[in-house]
Amino acid sequence: MIFRWLAIAALGCAPLLAQAQPADPGWIARGTAELQALDKVYARAATLSVKTGQSVRFGTIDITVLSCFVRPPDRAQDSAAFLVIIEQQDSAPKFRGWMFAGNPALSMLEHPIYDVRVIGCRG
């Protein structure tokens, strides 16, 4: 019975893990995402370094970085991170997807208090 539950849990995570891989194989994986977080109410900004697979808390949101990639040197510079952002009072994600440093408006967190942007990926 426990093996059936583990198999079901693994299948449920498969779509999320598949989305955490870039569609273009030319991207280079990095281990740490550099994020800029802003509390719009208190005008408090912070630069956050988050290792892939780990989370960080900013105010009342938890930001998890599932992957972080950069373009190779022979292409236009850009970084992309797959993020999951959850409000502490609510278990449903407020954001789940790719954020791009080169085009932050393409995919962004829509939150009345917080703004999160990808600055880059390193190491």
Per-residue pLDDT at 25 = 73
| Lowest-confidence segment of 49-53, 84-88, 91-95 by average pLDDT | 91-95
Per-residue pLDDT at 23 = 63
Query: How confident is the model over 57-72, as a mean pLDDT?
Result: 96
Q: Is the distance from CB of 115 to CB of 61 less than 8 angstroms?
A: no
pTM for the structure as a whole: 0.79
Q: Give the span between the Cα atoms of 1 and 9, in whole angstroms.
A: 13
Chain centre to alpha carbon of residue 2: 31
Query: How confident is the model over 29-52, as a mean pLDDT?
Result: 97
Phi, psi of 5 (to 5 degrees): -65, -40
- Domain parsing of the chain, residue ranges: 2-122
Integer angstrom CA distances of residue 43 from 37, 38, 39, 61, 65? 10, 7, 6, 16, 24
In this prediction, residue 21 has a pLDDT band, given cuts at 50, 70 and 90, of: low
